């Protein structure tokens, strides 16, 4: 495993036309998984503020708009091609979607502004230290009653350690930093994921959906 990884932007630019089909094929209980991303949302006509990290083509937005049709979504992704496809899919909601072509790692976020932050199948590209720092930033961006919803791949503790060893071996000789610009897969185990969220200061953390290879976690900055 010594080949240099692709840059994140070009990896997803090249796969935009097949992305939705790929996810539907590879995610166990696909519809249930994405439906659970919206489970913490109330059924409301209020204009709730939503931040979608690594939004891609916005598969999860179908379920979010079904519950909160007036949601205002800030969608962040490195791939403009992905975001453009999202806007075509959700043309009826175009006035409610703001797209940002940038890295969510360096993006400045307003504190205590978003009602919900969601990230689906994106954060497994980050190493532990960077992920915990991001969790802390996301917690600060939420209103006290808000929630961070993460749906992602999970692995066993043994596989997590193996992937991290392989990553370090793969990066030998390359001046790469953990900046999220390269496509690498280093998913957490659920144990590590929950521990990282606690370390980031989330008060209540619930796993609301599990399959063999994925889960959906809701993390709240404050207890209800």
Backbone dihedral angles phi then psi of residue 30, each to the nearest 5 degrees? -50, -55
* pLDDT computed for residue 51 by the predictor: 98
* pLDDT computed for residue 145 by the predictor: 96
Would you list the DSSP string of 73-92?
A: EEEEES-HHHHHHHHHHTGG
pLDDT in tens, 89-128: 999 999 999 999 999 999 999 999 999 999 999 999 898 8
Q: Which fold has domain 8-220?
A: Rossmann fold (3.40.50)
Backbone dihedral angles phi then psi of residue 86, each to the nearest 5 degrees? -60, -45
* pLDDT computed for residue 177 by the predictor: 53
pLDDT in tens, 155-186: 999 999 999 888 888 777 665 555 667 778 89
pLDDT in tens, 2-55: 466 778 788 888 889 999 999 999 999 999 999 999 999 999 999 999 999 999
**122 near 54, Cβ under 8 Å?**
yes
d(CA 163, CA 76): 26
* pLDDT computed for residue 1 by the predictor: 44
Mean pLDDT of the chain: 92
Find all residues with CB under 8 Å of 182, minimum gap 6, and list them: 5, 6, 7, 8, 176
pLDDT in tens, 179-195: 667 778 899 999 999 99
**61 near 54, Cβ under 8 Å?**
no
Q: Which helix H or strand E contains 185, and what residues bound it?
A: none
Find all residues with CB under 8 Å of 41, minimum gap 6, and list them: 48, 64, 67, 68, 71, 116
C-alpha distances (whole Å) from 64 to each of 4, 150, 189 are: 37, 14, 26
* pLDDT computed for residue 4 by the predictor: 67
């Amino acid at each position: 495993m010594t080949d240099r990884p692709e840059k994140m932007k070009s990896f997803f630019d090249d796969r935009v036309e097949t992305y939705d089909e790929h996810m539907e094929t590879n995610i166990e209980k696909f519809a249930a998984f994405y439906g659970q991303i919206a489970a913490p949302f109330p059924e409301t006509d209020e204009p709730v503020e939503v931040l979608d990290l690594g939004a891609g083509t916005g598969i999860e937005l179908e379920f979010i708009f079904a519950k909160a049709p007036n949601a205002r979504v800030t969608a962040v992704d490195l791939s403009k091609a992905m975001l453009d496809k999202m806007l075509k899919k959700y043309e009826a909601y175009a006035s409610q979607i703001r797209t940002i072509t940038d890295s969510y790692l360096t993006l400045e976020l307003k504190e205590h502004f978003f009602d919900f932050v969601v990230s689906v199948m994106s954060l497994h590209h980050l190493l532990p230290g960077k992920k915990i720092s991001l969790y802390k930033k996301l917690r600060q961006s939420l209103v006290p009653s808000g929630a961070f919803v993460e749906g992602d791949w999970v692995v066993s503790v043994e596989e997590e350690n193996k992937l991290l060893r392989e990553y370090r071996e793969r990066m030998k000789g390359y001046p790469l930093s953990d900046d999220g610009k390269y496509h690498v897969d280093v998913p957490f185990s659920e144990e590590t994921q929950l521990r990282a969220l606690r370390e980031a200061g989330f008060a209540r953390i619930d796993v609301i959906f599990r399959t063999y290879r994925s889960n959906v976690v809701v993390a709240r900055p404050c207890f209800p």
